[in-house]
Every structure is written in C-alpha cells, then in structure tokens.
C-alpha cells in the first residue's frame, strides 16, 4: 500500500474500488481532473486505474465474495488511514462494482468516517435480483418480458414446457453477459438450466430465472437519484455486444429515450432510490412496440464512458451529491458521441465478420443439397435449395464491403482507456491479457468479476 497522502486536494478525496474496471478508470479520471485525490483499490495488480496519473495512491483488498469480512476490514483500514485531518475536507467512498452491495450492507462501519453515496441494501435487493425485479415490475404494471421464477427443480420441470421459446436462462445476480444463455428448444432449456445450477453451485433460492426472448436493440438508461427523485438521466444504444446476443455492450451511441427514462423514474423513484443505477431495455424501435425492461444494475455500469463523454459525468455528479446534497444541472451535452471498450469491441467486430463468413459454408451445403436433388429427386426442389443458399449469402464484393464498413466504425470512436493526458493507464490491458494467456480464452467471468450469487448474500 502506498504511504498515506498528507494533504487533501482542494476538491477533496475519494476512495474507489474495482480499479481493474474500464469504468473505474473513467471515474478516476473524472474526479482527478477536477482536483479530487483518488485512491484506487482492487484485489489484483496491473489495473487500468492504478496506472492512471490521477491515482494518487493504491491498495489491495481480499476478494469481497470469498472473504467478505477480510475485505471489509481492509477497506475500513484504508478509509481510516487516508482520512483527511481537516473534517471539512470532502471525503467520499465510491464503490464501482459488486462490492457496492457488501458496502451497502455494512455502511455503518464507514459512515462515521467517510460519505457513502450508495443505495440502501434493501433497495438493491429489490431490483438487482432478477427474480424479485420481475415480480415487482409485474406487480407495478411495468413492461417486462414474461419471466418464469422456479422455486426448485421440481417446479422447473413442471413449467418448462410452458416456456415460449426462444428464451434466456439467467442467473439472478450477475451481469456483463455472464450467467446468461439463449435456448431455442425444450431440450436446450432443460440441459442449460441444470448446467447452471451445478456449475455455479446454486442454492434453491438462487436458482436461475427464465425470461422470454424479445426482439429489438439493447438500450441502457443511466440514472442518478436523490432520495427517490431522478436528478439526472441519459440513454445510450448498444451497437455491438461481446459475445453476440448475450454479452455486455462494447460499442455505444447516445440516443433520446423519454419513455424508457420514465419507466426508470417510476421503478426506482417508487422505492426511494439514492445513487446511480443503470437499467437495460430491449426495443424494436417502432411506435407500435413498447420498450421492455430486462434488468437493473444498481451501481456504476460498464458504459460509463458514454455518459461522461456525452455530458453526464456521473462520478462527479455523485461526488457533488454526496458532499453538498445536490448537483449542478447537466447543461453541456452531446448526442454525436460513439464510444467503445478496447479489445472487446474489436473482438465483437471480428465475430460479426466471422458470422458473415459462415454464409459460405451455408452456400456450399445448399449447393451439395441441390446437386443431390437434381440427381435423385425433384429439379424444382433442387433449384429452390440452391437459390435459398444464394439468398442467404453475400457475394465476395459485398462481403468485403461489409467487413470494411464494420472495421471503419471504429475510426472516430472514443475509447475507455486511451487518453493523451493519461497514457500509462493503457497498461491496464495487461490484466485482461494475462487472463487470456492463463486461460486461453476471453474469460468474461474473470475480467468482469461476475458469476454466481451476489456479494450481499455472503
């Protein structure tokens, strides 16, 4: 651990957790550029925020899920060690990821020494758990896809045939594309459900939920609440996800979405929410369809860079709310911003190009089927199969142009990591690279810290 900072900056001091997260780097820069001294912590070394010029000190802590008491002890020690001598100096604890829930449960350990602008744990439990969220949303008449909430394996077996497919099997308390899988057949549903229960070693109260699949694009409504009143909100649309169909959004653009933001205000305002939250929606984008609420992330979110670059600087807004009890109105906004997460966004592009290339295999298969029909069956059926393959496949020039278009989309994007005034933070890619080299694949569970029941259940 670095030596204690002796003198707090003019704007105050903040302790931030989960420093390996790209969103944590965004928060560190946001506060640091305004003169706030930021102390960053994580259970790992070589993290993005720890390499940042705006990280004045760093510390390590035990895994908050596996060793919750040791994590709390380590964090409390850091809070006391860096507490400003002048009690008038703003001092804020700003957890970023799943450790938010554990801190919310034990906020009484920290609040005598530092401001803790996180939601109440009972509010977090109500919306973070996909089972309780679905039950509450349906009770309140809010738009949410049909959701089945099995109580045990016998209950699951009794309702499995009622599920309208395709559907998604989802862990109740996970995010970033971890613990979610699309199923298209009843056999897939049963096999996936049992696999999740066994792989994540779930207790009955943590059994996955099943949610009917809905069409459309991904939308993320980001919010800041002041004791039940929505103080700020903005929405971005997901342009690309990794892995496709079930992963976290890795390329984004800002959009106007008053209907979704109204649902967010109704849902979180009704329970007196305080702090940041992000709500995921799916929407087909037509006046005849209604946006569907998918889940709530009761903490900072992966696409934080999109909000900050568009004018909604949530880390600074939350710091203001914690210190002065109100925020300055958001005035200077941009709607022409597009951002992306390094490495993952490019992998998503390559995945999309690869999916396009798989059309070649489909065309080859249809040609072989057509030849067989011509030789032994109906020539009409042979022609149909051949043209079906041609229809589903782009010609070489079209495929090249499509690949070029996909790659060109990265050209003017803003990245979570790269910054001229903070170049060494780019070394934060060493962490996901180390994960890749160790496990031979992009392990989202390790990179994002997701998977399994939430910390608040420990």
| 158 plus 99 within the same structural domain | no
CA distance 264 to 129: 16
Give the span between the Cα atoms of 30 and 36, in whole angstroms: 9
Q: Strand 217-226 relative to strand 275-283: parallel, antiparallel, unpaired?
A: antiparallel
- Look at residue 413 and tell me if it is in a domain: no
Give dist(CA 57, CA 44) in Å, integer.
Answer: 15
CA-based angle 282:393:362, to the nearest 5?
Answer: 95
CA–CA distance, 97 with 313 (Å, rounded to integer): 17
Q: Is residue 127 domain-resident? A: no
Report the C-alpha gap between 228 and 134 in whole angstroms: 20
CB 254 within 8 A of CB 234: yes
Q: What is the CATH number of the domain that holds 250?
A: 3.30.470.20
**Residues sharing a CB contact under 8 Å with residue 113, sequence separation 6 or more, in sequence order:** 79, 80, 83, 91
Q: In the predicted model, what is the mean pLDDT of residues 114-122?
A: 97
pLDDT tops 80 at residue 83:
yes
Domain membership of residue 126 (yes or no) is: no
Q: CB atoms < 10 A from the CB of 400, how many? A: 11
What is residue 5's predicted lDDT score, i.e. its pLDDT?
A: 41
Query: DSSP secondary-structure letter at 11?
Result: T
Higher-confidence residue: 310 or 424?
Answer: 310
SS3 5: coil
**Domain-ending residue, one of 163, 196, 212:** 212
Predicted confidence (pLDDT) at residue 413 exceeds the cutoff of 80: no
pLDDT at 437: 57
Does 375 reside within a domain? yes
Q: What would the mean pLDDT of 108-122 be, rounded to a whole number? A: 97
pLDDT in tens, 268-293: 999 999 999 999 999 998 989 999 99
Rounded to whole angstroms, the Cα distance separating 453 from 26 reads 27
Pairing mode of beta strands 248-255, 217-226 = unpaired
Mean pLDDT of the chain: 83
Q: How many CB atoms lie within 10 A of CB 233?
A: 22
Same domain, 68 and 173: no
The 10s digit of each residue's pLDDT in 42-77 is: 998 888 899 999 999 999 999 999 999 999 999 999
Q: What is the DSSP string of 256-301?
A: --HHHHHHHHHHHHTTT--EEEEEEEEE--STTS--EEEEEE-S--
- CATH at 13: 3.40.50.20
Sheet containing strand 37-42, edge to edge, reads 55-60, 37-42, 13-16, 91-94
Same domain, 75 and 15: yes
Whether 123 is covered by a domain: the verdict is no
> Counting every residue, how long is the chain?
458
Give me the mean pLDDT over the 145-169 stretch.
96
3-state secondary structure (DSSP) of residue 108: helix
Same domain, 250 and 168: no
How does pLDDT run across 338-359, given as a tens digit for each residue? 887 765 545 544 555 455 544 4
Residue 372 within a domain = yes
Nearest to 19 by CA among 77, 79, 60: 60
Residue 258 lies in a domain: yes
Spatial contact of 424 and 52, defined as CB atoms under 8 Å apart: yes
Does 46 share its domain with 74?
A: yes
User: What's the farthest any 2 CA atoms get from each other in the chain?
Assistant: 90
Same domain membership, residue 334 and residue 222: yes
How does pLDDT run across 168-207, given as a tens digit for each residue?
999 998 765 678 899 999 999 999 999 999 999 999 999 9
Are both 263 and 310 inside the same structural domain? yes
Question: Are residues 8 and 56 part of one domain?
Answer: yes
Containing 252, the helix (H) or strand (E) segment is strand 248-255
Residue 94 and residue 315 in contact, taking contact as beta carbons nearer than 8 Å:
yes
d(CA 383, CA 226): 64
Question: Please, which residues bridge with residue 275 across strands?
Answer: 225
Residue 95 in contact with residue 65, Cβ under 8 Å? no
What residues make up the domain containing 354? 345-408
**Of the candidates 391, 330, 327, 402, the residue with the CA atom closest to the CA atom of residue 359:** 391
Give the span between the Cα atoms of 448 and 65, in whole angstroms: 13
- The 8-class DSSP code of residue 269 comes to H
Q: What angle do CA 148, 127, 117 make, to 5 degrees?
A: 165
Radius of gyration of the chain (CA): 24
Assigned domain for 416 exists: no
User: Cβ–Cβ contacts within 10 Å for residue 326, how many?
Assistant: 10
3-state helix, strand, coil in the chain (%, to 5): 45, 20, 35
Domain total in the chain: 4
Separation in Å, CA 207 to CA 89, 195, 428? 45, 11, 35
């Amino acid at each position: 651990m670095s030596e204690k900072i002796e003198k707090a900056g003019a704007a105050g001091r903040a302790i931030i957790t989960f420093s390996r997260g790209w969103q944590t780097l965004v928060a560190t820069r946001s506060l640091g550029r305004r003169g706030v001294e930021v102390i960053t912590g994580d259970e790992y070394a070589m993290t993005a925020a720890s390499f940042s010029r705006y990280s004045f000190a760093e510390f390590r802590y035990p895994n908050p899920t596996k060793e919750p008491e040791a994590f709390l002890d380590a964090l409390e020690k850091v809070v006391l060690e860096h507490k400003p001598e002048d009690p008038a100096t703003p001092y804020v604890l700003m957890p970023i990821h799943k450790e938010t829930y554990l801190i919310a449960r034990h906020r009484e350990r920290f609040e005598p020494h530092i401001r803790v602008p996180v939601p109440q744990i009972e509010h977090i439990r109500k919306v973070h758990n996909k089972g309780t969220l679905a039950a509450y949303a349906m009770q309140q008449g809010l738009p949410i896809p049909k959701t089945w909430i099995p109580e045990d394996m016998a209950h699951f077996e009794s309702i499995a045939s009622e599920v309208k497919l395709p559907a998604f099997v989802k862990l109740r308390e996970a995010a970033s594309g971890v613990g979610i899988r699309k199923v298209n057949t009843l056999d897939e549903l049963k096999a996936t459900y049992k696999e999740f229960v066994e792989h994540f070693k779930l207790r009955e109260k943590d059994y996955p939920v099943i949610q009917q699949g809905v069409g459309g694009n991904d939308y993320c409504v980001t919010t800041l609440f002041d004791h039940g009143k929505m103080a700020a909100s903005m929405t971005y649309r997901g342009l690309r996800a990794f892995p496709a169909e079930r992963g976290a959004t890795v390329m984004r653009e800002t959009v106007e979405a008053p209907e979704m933001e109204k649902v967010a205000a109704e849902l979180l305002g009704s329970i007196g929410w305080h702090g940041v939250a992000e709500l995921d929606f799916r929407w087909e984008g037509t006046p005849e369809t209604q946006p569907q609420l998918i889940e709530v992330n009761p903490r900072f979110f992966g696409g934080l860079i999109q909000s900050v670059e568009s004018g909604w600087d949530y880390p600074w807004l939350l710091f203001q709310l914690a210190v002065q009890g109100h925020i300055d109105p958001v005035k200077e906004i941009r709607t022409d911003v597009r951002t992306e997460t390094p490495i993952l966004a490019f992998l998503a592009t390559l995945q999309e190009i690869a999916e396009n290339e798989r059309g070649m295999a489909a065309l080859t298969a249809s040609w072989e089927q057509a030849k067989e029909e011509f030789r032994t069956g109906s020539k009409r059926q042979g022609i149909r199969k051949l043209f079906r393959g041609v229809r589903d496949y782009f010609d070489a020039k079209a495929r090249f142009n499509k690949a070029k278009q996909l790659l060109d989309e990265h050209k003017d994007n803003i990245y979570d990591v790269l910054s001229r005034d903070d170049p060494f933070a780019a070394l934060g890619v060493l962490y996901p690279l180390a994960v890749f080299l160790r496990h031979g694949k992009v392990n989202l569970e390790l990179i994002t810290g997701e998977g399994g029941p939430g910390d608040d259940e420990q």
